[in-house]
């Protein structure tokens, strides 16, 4: 078998044009997210070859009882309504496949905005010149590559999102495994099989873990259900995505020397990997967006960890084993979390939680509980990146530094 062409110039143009044409024929028409594909991949990745039993109805009843207890205490600590509707949120146990489907449902408004941003931004292809021959791409190949790159982005996002959610379902406990968007309605899904597995692995009492999870999820729900917080997070994720585009140079290298060379089906499989040929222009604007995303997610995570720990001390007493288990879990993040981080520009590791907790502690040390609640009043109250690391600056900006 002869070696593939070494560049896009000269005789290689015909080969790559044919490959790109084959790939285009494999793709659905239209430029929007391919939602059916995303749902299919999520369900397939979530279950694999393993059983995915639906929870016992008695578990649903017990979790509803724990939800009522948790709601009272989280509302007392946060001083917030836990749901925009005014109704009581509740945690509901479910299967991995159903968790994946419902998570995609709740993410869909943000993902549609991401897809729209990609289509509006288009794909700019820099001219590539062969240093030996002094020639660029042929007009035919340039046109074909542009068409392929424009068509591949919604397909790529659909595959990557579906795969990421499916991977997450394999180890997720609650809805806010990735705090991208609030749960739809007042029902917060938790994965029953994963809860049981964690309780067994760490020798944790099932009710203690269930109560801890109720508090943790309701704290996140109280924060992310506030419209200005959800909108700020979504806007930053979309703005970040607009700065990250498939890298044509990486695509060329992948097609010339990658394992999918000459195999359109294998090339499509690679699209499920967010890092396959993504590129980003390292700019001041991109660094600013990443800093703001990190600051917001750190604040959310740190605040919710503070609320969870405070309520757990009231209700469980010695909850250190659960806290340590969760910390170890974050340190050993799975493929789903890593894929979600890459897709949305989020940092979800333990360092982010620690950073947010240090901010909360700094506010409490300087001003007490009353001022901490100002965090979620409006968008202007959200801390800047500098303020997350120096809580006194946040208190001073809002005029809260006088006790």
Helices 284-315 + 206-224 axis angle, to 10: 140
| Residue, of 69 and 17, whose pLDDT is higher | 69
Summarize pLDDT for 62-120 with one digit per residue, the tens: 999 999 999 999 999 999 988 877 888 999 999 999 999 999 999 999 998 887 766 55
Mean pLDDT (whole number) for 226-249: 83
Under 8 Å between Cβ of 80 and 178: no
190-206 CB burial, b ≥16 within 10 A, e <16: bbbbbbeebbeeeebee
Least confident of 158-162, 248-252, 338-342: 248-252
DSSP string, 256-287: HHSTTTT-HHHHHHHTT-TTSSEEE---HHHH
Helix (H) or strand (E) holding 211: helix 206-224
Q: What is the Cα gyration radius of the chain?
A: 24
Buried b (16+ CB within 10 A) or exposed e, 69-87: ebbebbeebbebebbeeee
Residue 83, pLDDT score: 82
Average pLDDT over residues 140-146: 61
CA-wise closest residue to 204 among 333, 323, 311: 323
Owner of token pair 């949305």: 344
For residues 209 and 315, what is the distance between their CA atoms, to the nearest angstrom?
A: 11
- CA of 216: how far to CAs of 9, 91, 110, 232, 377, in Å? 56, 11, 23, 21, 20
- Please state, for a pLDDT cut of 70, what percent of the chain lies above it: 73
Model pTM score: 0.82
Boundaries of every domain in the chain: 12-289
Per-residue pLDDT, 282? 65
pLDDT score of 61: 95
Query: Which pLDDT score, from 0 to 100, does residue 9 have?
Result: 42
Helices 35-47/139-169 angle, 10° precision: 40
- Residue reference for tokens 């044409």: 21
Q: Does 8 score more than 80 pLDDT? A: no
- Residues with Cβ within 8 Å of 25's Cβ and at least 6 positions away in sequence, in order, are none
The pLDDT assigned to 16 comes to 55
Q: Is the pLDDT of residue 383 over 50?
A: yes
Look at residue 77 in the predicted model and tell me its pLDDT: 94
Ranking 109-113, 146-150, 348-352, 390-394 by mean pLDDT, the lowest is: 146-150
pLDDT > 90? residue 50: no
Q: What is the mean pLDDT of residues 154-160?
A: 80
Q: What is the pLDDT of residues 347-367, one digit of tens each?
A: 888 899 999 999 999 999 988
State yes or no: pLDDT of 5 exceeds 60. Answer: no
Among the listed residues 303, 317, 280, the one whose alpha carbon sits nearest the alpha carbon of residue 355: 303
């Amino acid at each position: 078998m002869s070696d593939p062409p070494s560049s896009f110039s000269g005789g290689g143009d015909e080969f790559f044009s044919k490959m790109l044409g084959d790939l285009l024929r494999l793709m659905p028409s239209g430029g929007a997210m391919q939602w059916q594909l995303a749902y299919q991949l999520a369900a397939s990745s979530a279950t694999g070859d393993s059983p995915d039993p639906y929870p016992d109805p008695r578990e649903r009843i017990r979790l509803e009882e724990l939800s009522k207890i948790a709601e009272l205490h989280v509302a007392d600590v946060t001083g917030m309504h836990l749901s925009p509707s005014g109704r009581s949120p509740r945690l509901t146990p479910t299967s991995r496949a159903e968790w994946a489907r419902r998570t995609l449902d709740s993410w869909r408004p943000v993902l549609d905005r991401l897809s729209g941003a990609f289509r509006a931004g288009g794909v700019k292809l820099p001219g590539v010149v062969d240093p030996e021959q002094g020639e660029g791409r042929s007009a035919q190949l340039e046109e074909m590559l542009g068409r392929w790159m424009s068509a591949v982005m919604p397909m790529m996002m659909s595959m990557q999102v579906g795969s990421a959610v499916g991977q997450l379902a394999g180890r997720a406990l609650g809805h806010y495994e990735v705090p991208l968007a609030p749960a739809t309605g007042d029902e917060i899904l938790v994965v029953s099989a994963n809860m049981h597995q964690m309780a067994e692995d760490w020798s944790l009492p099932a009710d203690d873990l269930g109560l801890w999870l109720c508090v943790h999820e309701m704290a996140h729900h109280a924060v992310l259900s506030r419209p200005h917080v959800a909108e700020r997070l979504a806007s930053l994720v979309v703005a970040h995505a607009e700065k990250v585009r498939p890298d044509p140079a990486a695509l060329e290298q992948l097609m010339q020397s990658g394992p999918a060379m000459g195999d359109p089906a294998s090339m499509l499989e690679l699209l499920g990997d967010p890092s396959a040929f993504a590129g980003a222009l390292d700019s001041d604007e991109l660094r600013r967006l990443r800093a703001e995303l990190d600051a917001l997610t750190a604040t959310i995570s740190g605040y919710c960890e503070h609320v969870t720990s405070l309520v757990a001390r009231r209700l469980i007493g010695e909850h250190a084993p659960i806290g340590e288990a969760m910390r170890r879990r974050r340190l050993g993040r799975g493929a789903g979390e890593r894929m979600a981080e890459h897709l949305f520009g989020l940092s979800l590791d333990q360092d982010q939680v620690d950073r947010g907790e240090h901010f909360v502690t700094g506010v409490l040390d300087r001003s007490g509980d009353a001022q901490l609640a100002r965090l979620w009043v409006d968008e202007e109250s959200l801390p800047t990146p500098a303020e997350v690391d120096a809580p006194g600056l946040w208190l001073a900006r809002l005029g809260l530094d006088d006790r």
